[in-house]
Chains A and B, each alone.
Chain A
Amino acid sequence: QPVLTQSSSASASLGSSVKLTCTLNSRHSTYIIAWHQQRPGRAPRYLMKLEYSGNYNRGSGVPDRFSGSSSGADRYLTISNLQSEDEADYYCETWGINTQVFGGGTKLTVL
C-alpha cells in the first residue's frame, strides 16, 4: 500500500511563491498522484494530476499559478503569486487496485 507524507504546515507572503511537497514511500516512488485544495469550510477541489516524469494536468478552471513537478519520490505543488484565497489545506492522493491513499495534508498560511 502506498504511503504519502506531507509537512503539516507551510507559510508564505502574499504575492510570493511556495512549494509544497508530497513524498511517496520508496516502493511506490513512481506512482502518479493528484493534488487537492480544501479551503476552510469547503469541500475539497481537484487541482491536478502529477506524474513521476513531472508532467502534470490541471483540472478545469484551475489557474496557471498552480504547477507541479517531480523529483524521485517527491511530488511538488508550486503556487506562484500567492493570493489570500490560496490559504487552504492541500492534500496529495494516490491510488492502487481497489484502494486510495491520502497524505496527511499541509495547511498553507498566506502572510
Chain B
Amino acid sequence: EVLLVESGGGVIRPGGSLRLSCAASGFTFENYGMSWVRQVPGKGLEWVSSINWNGDSIGYADSVKGRFTISRDNVKKSLYLQMNSLRVGDTAFYYCARGDEIDYWGQGTLVTVSS
C-alpha cells in the first residue's frame, strides 16, 4: 500500500522558517518524481513545487520561488520542503503527492503563519 505521511507543520510567526517532511512507503521511492501542493482552508489546490527522481530537475510556483526549497533523500525515502521568509499568505494545508501526474496524496499537514 502506498503511504505518504507529512510532518513538520505548526504555527509560526511571519518571517520565520519551517521544514516539512514526507515519509514514503509502499513503492520504490527513487523511481518517482514528487510534489508539494497546498490548499488554503476553503479554497482550491495550488501547486507549490516538484522534483524529479534524482533531484536534478526542480520547479517552483512563482509565489514561493526564492523562499522555499524542495529536496529529497532516496535512501531515507523522504521528501522535504524548506520554507523560509514565511508570510501570512502561506497559511495552508500542505500535501505531499507522488508524481507530476499525481496518483497518490498524503493526508496533509497544516502550516499557520500568524503573529
Give A contacts to B, CB under 8 Å.
32, 34, 36, 38, 43-46, 49, 59, 89, 91, 93, 95, 97-105
The minimal Cβ–Cβ distance linking B68 to chain A, given in whole angstroms, is: 14
From known contacts A34-B101, A46-B104, infer whether A100 and B35 are also in contact, taking CB-CB under 8 Å.
Answer: yes
Report B101-115 residues with CB < 8 Å from chain A CB.
101-108
From known contacts A95-B101, A100-B35, infer whether A43 and B47 are also in contact, taking CB-CB under 8 Å.
Answer: no
Which of B58, B102, B108 is in CB contact (< 8 Å) with A98?
B58
Number of interface residues of B (CB under 8 A): 20
A residues in contact with B108, CB < 8 Å: 43
Asked if B46 is at the interface (CB within 8 A of a chain A CB), the reply is: yes
CA distance A21 to B101 in the complex (A): 19
B residues in contact with A95, CB < 8 Å: 100-101
A36 touches B102 (CB 8 A): yes
B residues in contact with A43, CB < 8 Å: 95, 105-108
A104 touches B105 (CB 8 A): no
Chain B, residue nearest A105 (CB): B44
12 contacts between A and B (CB under 8 A): A34-B101, A36-B102, A44-B95, A46-B104, A89-B44, A93-B101, A93-B102, A95-B100, A95-B101, A98-B59, A100-B35, A102-B45
> CB-CB contacts of B19-50 with A at 8 A, as 1s and 0s?
00000000000000001010000001111001
B residues in contact with A97, CB < 8 Å: 59
From known contacts A101-B47, A102-B45, infer whether A44 and B100 are also in contact, taking CB-CB under 8 Å.
Answer: no
The minimal Cβ–Cβ distance linking A108 to chain B, given in whole angstroms, is: 14
B residues in contact with A93, CB < 8 Å: 45, 101-102
> CB-CB contacts of B51-69 with A at 8 A, as 1s and 0s?
0000001110000000000
What are the 8 A-B residue pairs with the smallest beta carbon separation, nearest first? Answer: A98-B59, A100-B47, A95-B100, A102-B45, A105-B44, A46-B103, A44-B105, A43-B107
